[in-house]
Amino acid sequence: MTIFVTLARRTEIYSKSFIPSSVALWNDLSNEMKESHSLNIFKSNLKRLFKPPVVPEYFYTGMRKFTVYHARIRNHCSNLNADLYLNHLRDSPTCQCGYRSENAEHFLLIVIYFRLLENILCSQH
């Protein structure tokens, strides 16, 4: 029986990464699963243990690019300063316009609206 230990976590990003979660999942498997005699047996046992969910049809509608953007915003993994700040990749969540936090709400409801107005006003001159 093999049990793995994760290293101490120094950053939030590492603690949410693949390595700690995969080690925890491996350690939670039964000994029977860990000692499977072949890769095919291991995979079929995993499929029985973790029955893949049926993905609703509406997940496949629309353009994939926008679905990915939506998922990134929902999961706080976008390039917005607030998300980068939460993941310790920026020093500040502040928006370029001076607003305290460049989050999804600010970006989608304020920034895009003012960019549209700016384009309309600039096109009239």
Which residue shows structure tokens 């590492």?
14
Query: Which alpha helices (DSSP H) does 29-111 contain, by range?
Result: 31-34, 39-49, 64-74, 81-86, 104-106
Residues 35-84: pLDDT tens digits? Answer: 899 999 999 988 888 887 888 887 788 888 988 998 899 999 999 999 99
- From CA 14, how far away is CA 23, in angstroms rounded? 13
pTM: 0.51
Q: What pLDDT, on the 0 to 100 scale, is given for residue 125? A: 61
What DSSP string describes 20-50?
A: HHHHHHHHHS-HHHHT-SSHHHHHHHHHHHS
**CB contact at 8 A, 19 and 6:** yes
* Helix or strand holding residue 118 (H, E): helix 112-123
Q: How confident is the model at residue 4 (pLDDT cuts 50, 70, 90)?
A: confident
- From CA 6, how far away is CA 39, in angstroms rounded? 24
Q: What pLDDT, on the 0 to 100 scale, is given for residue 123? A: 82
